[in-house]
Each structure stands twice: as structure tokens, then as C-alpha cells.
Amino acid sequence: MGVSALTQHQDKKKHKEIEEEKMKNETMKSFVRNKSVLGTIDMQVAAAEGTWAYHVAKHHQSFASTDCASSLFKVLFPASDVAKKYGCAQDKTAAIIKGVNSIVAKRDFNY
């Protein structure tokens, strides 16, 4: 593929719509006001669990797929204190997503 193929691709309507949607979405950085908030290991674990729940929701993964995440992260990141304490299977993931969605709905829709 050459430069012209890449240029044609990025000029397509669907590609532009996706880029516009990305600009509308909030990043995880907008939810963390201060780095010191994540100073304790428990807060770092909570942030990791929230981030994982966001990932599951964003990519429409099943909650059951989260059951092995804790074990997987411990194997992938054995030196990480966050991975050692991470514990977010399907019930907790669902609770986080439902809790965040209710907060966003109240904020955005005056619900």
C-alpha cells in the first residue's frame, strides 16, 4: 500500500465518523484528577479494576470472560503489586459497570 491508498482510506466517511466518535469519548485521564489520588496500592488496584471493567464494556465482552483475568494478570505481571491484589471477576465487573453507568446517566441526563 502506498501513500495514496492510506490517504484515500483516511478520507472515507466511515473512518472520519470513527475519528469523530473518538474525540467525543472521555479518556480515563479525565476521571483521575490528581496522580496522588492513586498513591495507595488499594487505589491503584481499584483503578485497574475500573479500567478493566471499562475495557470489557467498550469491547462488548462477556462478563464470564473476566473470570480468569485475575489469574492471567498475576502470571503476566508477577512483579506487580497491583496484579497480586487484583480481583475482578464477572460479578464485580458487572457491579462496576452498572455503578459507573448510573453515575454517568445521572450526570448526562439529569436522571
Higher pLDDT, 67 or 101: 67
**pLDDT value at residue 75:** 95
Asked if residue 78 belongs to a domain, the reply is yes
List C-alpha distances in Å: 63 to 16, 66, 74, 91, 95.
31, 6, 19, 8, 10
**pLDDT value at residue 61:** 92
Write out pLDDT tens, residues 41-96. Answer: 998 999 999 999 989 988 999 989 899 988 999 999 999 999 999 999 999 999 99
- CB count, 10 Å around CB of 16? 11
Cα(51)–Cα(32) distance, integer angstroms? 11
pLDDT at 101 over 60: yes
Asked if residue 26 belongs to a domain, the reply is no
Asked if residue 24 belongs to a domain, the reply is no
Asked if residue 63 belongs to a domain, the reply is yes
Structurally, the chain folds into a number of domains equal to: 1
Asked if residue 60 belongs to a domain, the reply is yes
The domain of 107 spans 35-111
**pLDDT value at residue 28:** 62
